Amino acid sequence: MNDWKYFFDHELNNPEQGNYRIFASDSKVEILHWFSRDDIPKQQKEDLIRALVNFDDNCGGFYRYRAYFLAAEALNYFPECSFGDAIVKQLLDWSYLYFGWKLFPQPLVEAARKTLEVTDKTRVVKAFELLLRNTPSRLTLQSAATKLGELDSGNKMAIAALILLLDVTEDIYKLKSICKSISKIGFGNQAAINTVVELMETIEDKNLCREAIKTLGKIGCRNQTAILALEKFLQINRGDRICLDAAEALLLVDKGNEVALDALVFLLESTQELYLLIKAVEYLQEIDSQNQAAIKVLSERLKSCKDDCLRAEIAASLGKFDRNQPGIKEVLIEILETSQGYFLMDLEYFRNFGDNELYSHRRIISSLLLLYPGDKEVIASLISFLEKDWSVSACFLSISALRNMSLTQPLNFAMRKKIISAFIRFLQKNKGKRVRVDTNVAEAILQLEPDNKIAIDILIEIIQSKPDNWIEEKAPIVLLLFDSYYQTAINRLIKLYSFGELGVLLEYKRLFSENGLEKIVYKDKTVRLLIDDAISLGIKRLLNAIRKDKKLCSDCNYITDGYYNFERESFWNIWRNVDSINKKGYSPKIITALKEYLSKKFYYSNSSRYDEVYQLMWNYAENMSYKDFYQAWHG
C-alpha cells in the first residue's frame, strides 16, 4: 500500500461518493505511520500532503479543516515537506489573526492551537518568533508569546515579549493579564523575576500588587531575588489580605520560610476577618500540620474571644492542628445550641453562602462532623439543634450531617434509630412548609431505613398533590428505587411534563438502561417509545423555531420589538435541548436547517447565534462520516 490515493479516493464531480479514509477514526495511526516509512517515495508523501491542504469539502469547510490538521500532524513524520512552512503559518493565522469581517470561529481557533502542539515543533517555534517580531497587535503578541513559552519551555523571545508588554502597558487590567501570562512561562527567568519584583514594589494598585506577588510565587522558586523581595514586603506589611498572598508566595518559592510562617501566625493572632483566619490555617497546615506556635496562639484566643462567630472559627481552626486540645468540642456545641443570630464580621468573601446565620451554622456543623465523627455528644447536639425553631434551611444542615454520619460511621442500632426518630419528628412537624425539604428528608430516612412507611407515604402524598414546580420530580425519582411504587413514580414523572419538555424526558435515559425503558409502560406505550415521540416532536419544534428565528433575525424591524425578544427566548428554550439529541437519524434535518446561519450576513445580525450554530455543526462534522454530512448539507 504505497499509493497515497488509497487514503484519498476523491471524485471532484461527485464528492459524496469518494472513499475518504483520511476521515476514518481508525485510519489516523495508519496514515501517520505511512508518512514515517522510508520505503515510500518522497513525491508520494508530497502528493498526499498537497491533496490534504487543498481539499475542498463543499459543505462549510468543516472537513477541509480536518484534512488540513491531519497534514499538519504528518509534518512530524515528514519534516522535509515543501509545504511545511506554509502549513504552520496557516495554523498560526487561524490561531491568532483576524479573518476579515470577524475573528475565526472559536472551534477552529481551538483546534488549530491544539494542532500546533503536535506538528513540527522546530517550524512552530520559528513561526512564532517571526510572528512576535512582526505583529502590530499587543493582544496577539501576548497570546502568541504565552503559547510559544508553553510549547518551547524557557524561550527567551517569548519571555522578553511579555516583559516588554509589562513595561509599555498602563492599563491595570491588562497588566494583571500580562502577569498571569508571565506566571505560565517565566519560571526561573531572572529578567522576568526582576521585572515583576519591581512592579510589586512600585505599583500603588493593591490588586495588581497581589497579582505580581502571585506571579513571583509561580516563577521564583528558590530564587534569592524573589525570596528577599517577598521577605522585605512581609516585614513592612503586616496583617492584611495582601500579606496572606505574600506569605503563600514566599512558601512556594522557599518552603518552610520562617518569615512567611511568622506572618501567618501573626494573622492567627491578630485578624478579625474569618477569611484570613481560615486561609492562614490552610497554608500553615500544608507546611506544618502540628505547628506549635499556631496551637499556642489559637488556644489563647479561644479563651479570650467574645464574638461567637469568630470564636467558633478559632475553635475549628485549633481542632485542625490538634482536636484533643481542651475546650474545642465544648465551644462548638455551646455556640451551636445557644447562638442567637450572630453575624459574620466580613461579608466580602462569603456572599455565596447566603445569610450570615446559615453560613455560621454550616461552618460549625461541618467542623463537628470533621473533627468528631460518630461522637455521641455531637450527635445529641445536632438532634437538639434540629428540634429547635430554626429556619427549615438551617435544620436541614443538621439532617445532612446526621445522615452522612449514619452512612459513614459504625453507629450502633440504638443510635441509628434515635437519628431516624428525630428525622421523622421533624418531617411530621414541618410537613408542607417546603416540599423540596420534605422530599429530601424522606429520602434521608429511606437511606437509613429503606422500608420506612412514614417516609414512603410522604413521597406518595407529594406525588398525588400534583405540584407544578420542577423541583418536585425528585419525589418520584426517589420512589423509583422501590419495586412496589415503580409504576406510580413513572406515571407521575410523565404527567409532570409535556412532550415539549424534551430535555426533561431525555433525563430518563440517565435513570434507566435501554432495556429498562422498554419495560416501563404508560398508556399502552413503553417509555422508550414515548421518548422517541418526544424527540420527534422536539425536532419539529426546533425546525419550526429555526425557520421563524431566521426570518426575525433578518428583519431589522423586529430587533427592538418585544415580540422578537419573546420569540428569541422561545427559540433558546428549544435550542438548549439540541445537545441532548444524539440519535444520528435526526442530524441531517438539523444540519440542513442550520447551515444558512453560517454566513457573513447572519454573523453581523446575530453573532452569538452564529457561534452556537457553528459549534454544533463542528461537533456533527467530528462525529459523522463525510458522505453523511455532505448529503445533509445539500439536502
Closest CA to 313 of 356, 352, 367: 367
What is the end-to-end Cα distance of the chain in Å, rounded? 35
Three-state SS string across 154-209, please?
Answer: CCHHHHHHHHHHHHHCCCHHHHHHHHHHHHHHCCCCHHHHHHHHHHHHHCCCHHHH
pLDDT higher at 481 or 139: 139
Q: How far apart are CA 360 and CA 368, in angstroms?
A: 12
Q: Give the burial class of 532: count Cβ atoms within 10 A of its Cβ; 0-12 exposed, 13-18 middle, 19 or more buried.
A: middle
With H, G, I as helix, E, B as strand and everything else as coil, classify residue 559: coil
**In the predicted model, what is the mean pLDDT of residues 395-412?**
91
Q: Mean pLDDT lowest for which of 115-129, 451-465, 478-492, 570-584? A: 570-584
pLDDT band, residue 100 (cuts 50/70/90): very low
**In the predicted model, what is the mean pLDDT of residues 494-509?**
54
Residues ≥6 apart with Cβ < 8 Å to 75: 81, 84, 87, 88, 119, 120, 123
Residues ≥6 apart with Cβ < 8 Å to 288: 256, 261, 294
pLDDT higher at 219 or 475: 219
Tell me, what's the pLDDT at 277?
96
Position 410 pLDDT exceeds 80: yes
Tell me, what's the pLDDT at 353?
38
Tell me, what's the pLDDT at 343?
34
Q: Which residues pair with 99 in a beta bridge?
A: 102
Q: Which residue has the cell 441531517?
A: 588
Position 395 pLDDT exceeds 60: yes
Tell me, what's the pLDDT at 419?
96
Tell me, what's the pLDDT at 490?
72
pLDDT band, residue 621 (cuts 50/70/90): very high
Three-state SS string across 47-71, please?
Answer: HHHHHHHCCCCCCCCHHHHHHHHHH
Tell me, what's the pLDDT at 74?
98
Tell me, what's the pLDDT at 604?
75
**In the predicted model, what is the mean pLDDT of residues 194-211?**
97
Q: Which residues pair with 526 in a beta bridge?
A: 521
pLDDT band, residue 491 (cuts 50/70/90): confident
Q: How far apart are CA 36 and CA 30, in angstroms?
A: 10
Mean pLDDT, rounded, of the chain = 84
With H, G, I as helix, E, B as strand and everything else as coil, classify residue 451: coil
pLDDT band, residue 251 (cuts 50/70/90): very high
- Alpha-carbon distances of 489 from 437, 454, 478, rounded to whole Å: 19, 17, 8
pLDDT higher at 199 or 537: 199
Residue length, the chain?
A: 635
pLDDT tens column, 334-375: 998 886 543 333 333 333 334 445 567 888 999 999 999 999
Put simply, whether the predicted model's pTM sits higher than 0.85 gets the answer no
pLDDT higher at 100 or 104: 104
pLDDT tens column, 538-584: 667 667 767 776 665 555 444 444 434 544 555 555 555 565 555 54
Position 476 pLDDT exceeds 90: no
Closest CA to 403 of 381, 379, 384: 379
Residue 355's Cβ-side half-sphere holds a number of Cα atoms within 13 Å equal to: 8
pLDDT band, residue 380 (cuts 50/70/90): very high
Position 585 pLDDT exceeds 70: no
Tell me, what's the pLDDT at 492?
74
Position 462 pLDDT exceeds 90: no
